[in-house]
Chain A
Amino acid sequence: MTNVPIEAIANRTPQPLPGAPDNWKRFFTFSTDHKVIGIQYLVTSFTFFLVGGFFAMIIRGELVTPEADLVDRTIYNAMFTMHGTVMLFLWMFPSLVGLANYLVPLMIGARDMAFPRLNAIAFWMVPVAAILLMASFFAPGGPSQSGWWAYPPVSLQNPTGKLLNGQFLWLLAVAISGVSSIMGAVNFVTTIAKMRAPGMTLFRMPIYVWTVLSAQIIQLYGLPALTAGAVMLLMDLTFGTSFFDPAKGGNPVLYQHFFWFYSHPAVYVIILPIFGIFSEIFPVFARKPLFGYKIVAISSMTITFVSGIVWVHHMFASGTPPWMRIFFMFTTVFVAVPTGVKVFAWVATLWGGKLRLTTPMLFALGALIMFVFAGITGIMLATVPIDIHVNNTYFVVGHFHYVLFGTATMGMFAAIYHWFPKMTGRMYNEGLGQLHFWLTFVGTNLNFLPMHPLGLMGMPRRVASYDPEFAFWNVLASIGGFLLGMATLPFILNMVGSWVQGKKAPDNPWRAIGLEWMVSSPPPVENFEEIPVVVAEPYGYGKNEPLVAGDRAADLVTEPS
């Protein structure tokens, strides 16, 4: 094969697709194109998903045996702290912002976000926060060991006495990521409120856009409270003020209020766009309109407001007065109503549909099943007697991993597979995708289901060693954890391989209805040659009606009879 003509090699290099990155270097620049920024967010956050996953492997490795024999206890503490922090602040939030960045302008018929430069600044703050957080491994005393909550007085301990310590860097990184998120939220709310294409009324927006709007409103009212708490904690740690230090007359519980006032709604910041992804994917692969579109949209907004008055359910065991416990128990349980409405709507959408079990559909279905399970344990945890019993045990860990991995991360995978052809102009490999799904689905349940019996048996969270009676379930969970680690490999292989040499993707490979599917794959710079005029509600599957006016009505998606 040494004498292949030069021309033949030249012909084999793929021609740049319309609007495709001319070269990969574009993703390392201060680009203001929302599609470039979206992919920057997604790739950066996935990199940190691997970092956080590596920390999880160390945690699960330590827990294979009852003794603390793999790593030092201080390193174990740093591992669970950094695992939580990285997975939330560097994987979940940025990946969802990245997806929303890519999709929202396309879905509402805009050429870009309202503030493209602000968008780019917000993205580039994420690597800065990430570097600060990772730098804490080299700080005196190592990274923060106070868990991702950073509760005082634990987080106020500074054994090395140095000004520059792991907790300080942690707070700085979280603050920068918070500022970045607020910038993003201002941008999303403005874009959705002011940049919609003509005819795209509020009740013609795809549910995904509704859920992004709901989630970003939470960022706007919630994050400032966490910022205030973080500033006060930083002052306590650095200047020796006494806001949260009980030894100096401060009130550590106030920090818990600030922290959870944001960090509980933050769960909805994560889960709402995942609900949006479900609402986009189910109609496409069931070939039916979304059941109860308006109710689903309104449910998202209801969750936005109710989620602002539920935070104390994290503090039932923090000396909370009984009236507060009862009030917050009721509000928390109430969140299940709009959420249940949505689950009902998805099931009704799937009911009687012509299901196509592609990778995105499998991931969405798997995520829905695990969400229902997480919702049931969530209701259990919201009730005071059960919560007091299992507070700070593995039951809680199991519950939120079903939410954050089983639902949110699997939902993200569904979204990545679903819009991969649109983003890259290439099809992914279906076989590898299905392998990825089955490994992930089995791994998730094997990893996180045993945590529930462990919690009921009384195993506390955040311990490096445990009573030998817990060994059986812990070994199972660790096997599941390592399986999940392996499950990432076919995904990486699929993404890299398909992006480089996958089959060319048509504009609308799923025969989906939506503005993003009416432009080329990948979409050109500025998205639309002419801004479309929307004339119909979304999800018109089986209705054979055009979505937009004019010549583009020829793009009608019809059902084969």
Chain B
Amino acid sequence: MESSLDQAPAIAHAHAHAAEHTHDEAGNALFGFIVFLLSESVIFLSFFVSYFLYKITTSDWYPDGVTGLATREPLINTIVLVSSSFVIFIAERFLHKRNLWGFRVFWLLTMAMGAYFLLGQAKEWSELPFGFTSGLFGGTFYLLTGFHGLHVLTGILLQGLMLIRSFIPGNYDKGTVGVEETSLFWHFVDVIWIVLFILLYVWQ
């Protein structure tokens, strides 16, 4: 060791740091996932911008025979999806307190609320008088809701995976980064939906 005395403690500290660095895989995973979500949000942002620009520049926005979108059922759907963000938060709290059954119950409830949202969306789609090729309105409407719906579906599938993992003995003693990522993804999907709801249903 040629290092001078004042460097020694720093190096010792750094050595301890090194061990921590190489084993902090969960921290890396969460960091990487957040970076991914930030990137993903730009796709939604691009679609939002398209919708905004099309809407303010198109004279005949709605297809013939359409005057607007019904808001009652989508509003109920919105309330269910947004509340599920709180439910998933409670599920996470239970997991941190090592209460697996509490986690499973609230986690499953989140999944059910997500599924309710998707079914409501499917019902709305089937009753709408316009399709994907009905002008710019039809195109952007189905593009936005469809792309968001795919994310909800992905979220539910991830939640299902995390639920199955909770039955592997000791699985979440090793760390809960998968649950944290899924939960973060769910909040992301919710926030996107709020913007979408304002753009599509409130701003008519």
Question: Are B42 and A243 touching (Cβ within 8 A)?
Answer: no
**A235 contacts the other chain (CB 8 A):** yes
**A476 contacts the other chain (CB 8 A):** no
- Residues in A196-247 with C-beta less than 8 Å from chain B: 196-199, 220-221, 223-225, 227-229, 231-232, 235, 239-243
Q: Which residues of B contact A190 (CB under 8 A)?
A: 28, 31-32, 35
Kindly specify which of A11-19, A85-93, A181-189 makes contact with the partner chain. Answer: A181-189
Question: Are A531 and B18 touching (Cβ within 8 A)?
Answer: yes
Minimum CB distance partner of B40 in chain A: A224
Question: Are A242 and B133 touching (Cβ within 8 A)?
Answer: yes
Given contacts A115-B28, A225-B42, contact A232 B50 (CB under 8 A): yes
Question: Are B43 and A227 touching (Cβ within 8 A)?
Answer: yes
Question: Are B38 and A531 touching (Cβ within 8 A)?
Answer: no
Q: How many B residues face the partner with a CB closer than 8 A? A: 42
Question: Are B39 and A533 touching (Cβ within 8 A)?
Answer: no
Minimum CB distance partner of A195 in chain B: B21
CA distance A235 to B143 in the complex (A): 9
Q: Which residues of B contact A227 (CB under 8 A)?
A: 43
Given contacts A232-B50, A242-B136, A249-B58, contact A198 B28 (CB under 8 A): no
**A248 contacts the other chain (CB 8 A):** yes
Chain B: minimal CB distance from A111 (Å): 7
Q: Which residues of B contact A250 (CB under 8 A)?
A: 136
Chain A: minimal CB distance from B156 (Å): 22
CA distance A84 to B40 in the complex (A): 27
Question: Are A225 and B46 touching (Cβ within 8 A)?
Answer: yes
Chain B: minimal CB distance from A222 (Å): 8
Question: Are B18 and A197 touching (Cβ within 8 A)?
Answer: yes
Q: Which residues of B contact A220 (CB under 8 A)?
A: 35, 38-39, 42
Given contacts A225-B46, A531-B22, contact A240 B133 (CB under 8 A): yes
Question: Are B46 and A228 touching (Cβ within 8 A)?
Answer: yes
Secondary structure at chain B's binding surface: helix, strand, loop or mixed? helix
Chain B: minimal CB distance from A545 (Å): 11
CA distance A281 to B134 in the complex (A): 57
CA distance A550 to B18 in the complex (A): 15
Interface residues on A, range: 35 or more
Question: Are B54 and A251 touching (Cβ within 8 A)?
Answer: yes
How does the 8 Å CB contact mask read for B114-147 relative to A, with 1 for contact and 0 for none? Answer: 0000000000000000001101101110010001
Chain B: minimal CB distance from A538 (Å): 17
Minimum CB distance partner of A222 in chain B: B42
Minimum CB distance partner of A189 in chain B: B35
**B2 contacts the other chain (CB 8 A):** yes
Q: Which residues of B contact A258 (CB under 8 A)?
A: 46
Question: Are B18 and A533 touching (Cβ within 8 A)?
Answer: yes
**A194 contacts the other chain (CB 8 A):** yes
Question: Are A535 and B3 touching (Cβ within 8 A)?
Answer: yes
Residues of A whose CB lies within 8 Å of any CB of B are 111, 114-115, 182, 185-187, 189-190, 193-199, 220-221, 223-225, 227-229, 231-232, 235, 239-243, 248-251, 254, 258, 531, 533, 535, 546, 549-551, 553
Residues of B whose CB lies within 8 Å of any CB of A are 1-3, 7, 11, 14-15, 17-18, 21-22, 24, 27-29, 31-32, 35-36, 38-43, 45-47, 50, 53-54, 57-58, 132-133, 135-136, 138-140, 143, 147
